[in-house]
Amino acid sequence: MENLKTQVAIIGSGPAGLLLGQLLYKAGISHIIIEQRSADYVAARIRAGILEQVSVDLLHKAGVDENLKQFGIPHEGIEILTNGLKHRVDLSSLTQGKQVTVYGQTEVTKDLMHAREAADLCTYYEAQNVQIHDFEKQQPYVTFQKDGQSFRLACDFIAGCDGYHGVCRASVPQDKIKTFEKVYPFGWLGVLADVPPVSDELIYVQSERGFALCSMRSKTRSRYYLQVPVTDHVEEWSDERFWNELKSRLDEESCNNLVTGASIEKSIAPLRSFVTEPMRFGKLFLAGDAAHIVPPTGAKGLNLAASDIAYLSSALIEFYQRNSTQGIDEYSEKCLKRVWKAERFSWWMTHLLHRFETETEFDHKIKQAELNYILDSNAGLTTLAENYVGLPY
């Protein structure tokens, strides 16, 4: 067995793990990333693409925003379609100039991977049998295999950035962790296509036939979603069926502007809300999807991971540079305060814009009235806009 040593062991090389690694590198803190999947697999994962202003600022702080500045698409508003009419939510004017930026999570991941490669930082991809040990003691360590060789990595701290199905959360004793979960009875059928977006801004659709979202990755690549039963399979949805169903949920102007084409990726994502409490267990910190999941309606998944990493990187830097444990001791509380606010917003947006099978006509009318109130009220619009652009750290 080969013995390794570092200050922070990071499990998982998604955006959370990579961003933490980049921020620690810039602060001169040694770390090693251990990832179960291959680098090609990590770089190819299709995920969300809306960045809050605070996430953009954090990527700038990490020094990985060159492509973001060049190719990201700033959005100062969104549109909500209900009862066949579109209503624009002016995010910028409602939040003193804040905005969101359309930039795919895939691109964020690639930018972080390229920065890591350029700095010649250590990452073990395709690691097998990853296990974490003694994280509630003074000297935690990680064991894994790579290319038939066994490794033991001694460290001061372990950052669990390995996602919902990862080993880190699963390693916590059940009597020391509490989870909260809500599973929704539908999924999002997503299609990625090399066609221009139907609109310059995102369109969120509340319709009698169910929710839809018109989004984008660039000015020539679009991402569209349909609410579908969770029992549906991708194979049941041809491109033609998808485009026809999308048109049935849009207004006439959007239908006329819609450019259709062959899908280059198609998948159905289940929706759930999930939170772990606490997010720190001795020398182990959970971050990103390892600690919480949000339905994508509020565009908070990647952004919550970024805020976790903002708190965690600051806490670790404070520990190593000032010998203070205050940030470490406050990590879980600070994260969860923001997590639950984002969970509430995502739950609210999901409930407001989707049709539920158990929903009566009365329920639907009430939701329409609530949405109409929000759209006709400056206070309501401000609440929506403040949450959408991202609450402060």
Is residue 61 part of the annotated active site? The answer reads: no
- Measure the CA–CA gap between 54 and 62, rounded to whole angstroms: 12
Contact 158, 285 (CB under 8 A): yes
150: part of which helix (H) or strand (E)? strand 149-154
CB atoms within 10 A of CB 177: 15
* Marked catalytic residue, from 124, 296, 311, 354: 296
Spatial CB neighbours of 215, under 8 Å, sequence gap ≥ 6: 49, 50, 102, 197, 202, 222, 223, 224, 225
Contact 37, 125 (CB under 8 A): yes
Is residue 219 part of the annotated active site? The answer reads: no
- Per DSSP, the three-state class of 321 is helix
* Marked catalytic residue, from 184, 225, 331, 388: 388
What is the CB-side half-sphere exposure of residue 322 using CA atoms within 13 A?
Answer: 10
* Marked catalytic residue, from 31, 283, 292, 300: 300
- Measure the CA–CA gap between 161 and 203, rounded to whole angstroms: 31
Is residue 388 part of the annotated active site? The answer reads: yes
Is residue 351 part of the annotated active site? The answer reads: no
7: part of which helix (H) or strand (E)? none
Contact 41, 319 (CB under 8 A): no
Look at phi and psi of residue 88 and say left if phi exceeds 0, alpha if psi is from -120 to 50, else beta: beta
- Measure the CA–CA gap between 102 and 223, rounded to whole angstroms: 11
Is residue 373 part of the annotated active site? The answer reads: no
- Closest to 301 in 3D by CA, of 71, 73, 47, 61: 47
- Measure the CA–CA gap between 386 and 353, rounded to whole angstroms: 18
Spatial CB neighbours of 143, under 8 Å, sequence gap ≥ 6: 129, 130, 131, 133, 150, 151, 152, 153
* Marked catalytic residue, from 204, 225, 320, 331: 204
* Marked catalytic residue, from 31, 75, 283, 367: 75
Q: Which residues are catalytic?
A: 75, 204, 296, 300, 388
